[in-house]
């Protein structure tokens, strides 16, 4: 019997194979960790972007809301201004008619005065020619003196300045008394000393803001029915007109004198307005 030889093959793995497997496993784990880290950062970035978009959207909505509110306020203001413009336009139509009437009245008064002077002069000469006694002459002299006084007063009235609305403008206390005797308006004289000190004058409040005594100008703020109005660079003896609610005749503020941080003048109120008028807290002459 032939001998059988069994050849046993002993295979062994190379020495580098195991470390390579471990290295590959580590690389795979590193890649997995890196991917997980990037995924977390991506999620965080997405959340941040989403929050920023949400915040931007809220800010945008707030801005839109604010703009809508401002637009509503502007539209209301525009409507109010249109209403005020219509009221002023209507009042100007009235005052233009009053101005024409005032001019015509002044012309008629002047003509009547001239005619009265001629008539009285003729009458005086006639009396002097027909009466020769001393008593008669004295009586005529008295009449002449009285007529002369009345004529001087009438001339003084006619020489006073008139505003664009036809009202007479007084330049001092004596002329204010002349206008007061006519009985058509109330005249409240005032003196304001010091800036930013509101002072009640009749049915309004006047506050001095500044003066330019060299140019006879001043800046004032006057309050009418809780509304404030400003008159800048107001000249002396130049009326500042305003209207009370429900009236069609203007009231006037006239500044007659400007000094160092002080002004003097008067408030003119038509009696036809039927507004309560009180004396100023400080009156100046």
Characterize the bridge pairing of strands 240-242 and 251-259: antiparallel
Characterize the bridge pairing of strands 185-193 and 240-242: unpaired
Would you state the pLDDT for residue 127? 65
Give the lowest-confidence range in 12-26, 55-69, 145-159. 145-159
pLDDT at 285 over 50: no
pLDDT at 133 over 50: yes
Would you state the pLDDT for residue 11? 57
Would you state the pLDDT for residue 241? 93
Q: What pTM was computed for the model?
A: 0.43
Would you state the pLDDT for residue 284? 40
Selected residue with higher pLDDT from 145 and 104: 104
* Contact (CB, 8 A) for 251 and 155: no
Would you state the pLDDT for residue 190? 95
Would you state the pLDDT for residue 130? 63
Instruction: Please tell me which of 28-32, 93-97, 142-146 the model is most confident about, judged by mean pLDDT.
Output: 28-32
Q: Mean pLDDT over residues 229-237, rounded?
A: 92
Could you give the C-alpha distances from 50 to 41, 60, 119, in angstroms and in order? 14, 15, 101
Q: What is the mean pLDDT of the chain?
A: 78
Q: Mean pLDDT over residues 138-160, rounded?
A: 54
pLDDT at 246 over 80: yes
Would you state the pLDDT for residue 53? 83
pLDDT at 201 over 80: yes
Q: How confident is the model at residue 5 (pLDDT cuts 50, 70, 90)?
A: low
DSSP letter assigned to residue 136: H
Give the lowest-confidence range in 16-30, 127-141, 226-240. 127-141
Characterize the bridge pairing of strands 199-201 and 204-212: antiparallel
Q: Mean pLDDT over residues 74-87, rounded?
A: 81
**What are the domain boundaries of the chain?**
176-273
d(CA 178, CA 153): 8
SS3 string, 54-109, reads HHHHHHHHHHHHHHHHHHHHHHHHHHHHHHHHHHHHHHHHHHHHHHHHHHHHHHHH
Beta-carbon contacts of residue 45 (< 8 Å; ≥ 6 apart): none
Selected residue with higher pLDDT from 243 and 99: 243
Give the lowest-confidence range in 65-74, 102-111, 255-264. 102-111
Would you state the pLDDT for residue 270? 92
Instruction: Please tell me which of 21-30, 69-78, 122-131, 208-217 the model is most confident about, judged by mean pLDDT.
Output: 208-217
Instruction: Please tell me which of 86-90, 157-161, 196-200 the model is most confident about, judged by mean pLDDT.
Output: 196-200
Q: What is the pLDDT of residues 49-70, one digit of tens each?
A: 888 888 888 887 888 888 888 8
Would you state the pLDDT for residue 281? 40
């Amino acid at each position: 019997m032939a001998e059988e030889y069994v050849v046993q093959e002993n295979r062994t793995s190379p020495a580098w194979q195991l470390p390579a497997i471990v290295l590959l496993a580590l690389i795979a784990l590193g890649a997995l960790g890196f991917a997980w880290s990037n995924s977390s950062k991506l999620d965080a970035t997405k959340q941040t972007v989403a929050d920023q978009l949400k915040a931007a959207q809220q800010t945008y909505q707030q801005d839109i809301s604010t703009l809508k509110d401002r637009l509503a306020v502007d539209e209301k203001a525009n409507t109010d201004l249109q209403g005020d413009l219509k009221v002023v336009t209507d009042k100007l139509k009235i005052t233009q008619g009053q101005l024409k009437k005032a001019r015509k009245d002044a012309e008629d008064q002047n003509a009547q005065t001239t005619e009265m002077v001629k008539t009285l002069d003729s009458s005086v000469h006639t009396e002097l020619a027909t009466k020769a006694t001393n008593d008669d002459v004295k009586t005529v002299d008295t009449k002449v003196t009285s007529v002369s006084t009345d004529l001087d007063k009438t001339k003084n009235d006619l020489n006073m300045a008139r505003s664009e609305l036809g009202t007479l403008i007084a330049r001092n206390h004596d002329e204010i008394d002349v206008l007061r005797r006519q009985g058509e308006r109330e005249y409240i004289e005032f003196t304001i000393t010091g800036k930013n000190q509101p002072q009640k004058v009749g049915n309004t409040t006047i506050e001095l803001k500044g003066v330019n005594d060299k140019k006879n100008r001043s800046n004032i703020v006057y309050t009418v029915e809780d509304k404030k109005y400003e008159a800048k660079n107001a000249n002396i003896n130049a009326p500042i007109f305003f209207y009370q609610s429900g009236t069609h005749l203007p009231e006037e503020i006239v500044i007659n004198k400007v000094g160092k941080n002080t002004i003097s003048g008067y408030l003119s109120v038509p009696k036809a307005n039927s507004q309560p008028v009180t004396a100023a807290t400080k009156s100046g002459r």
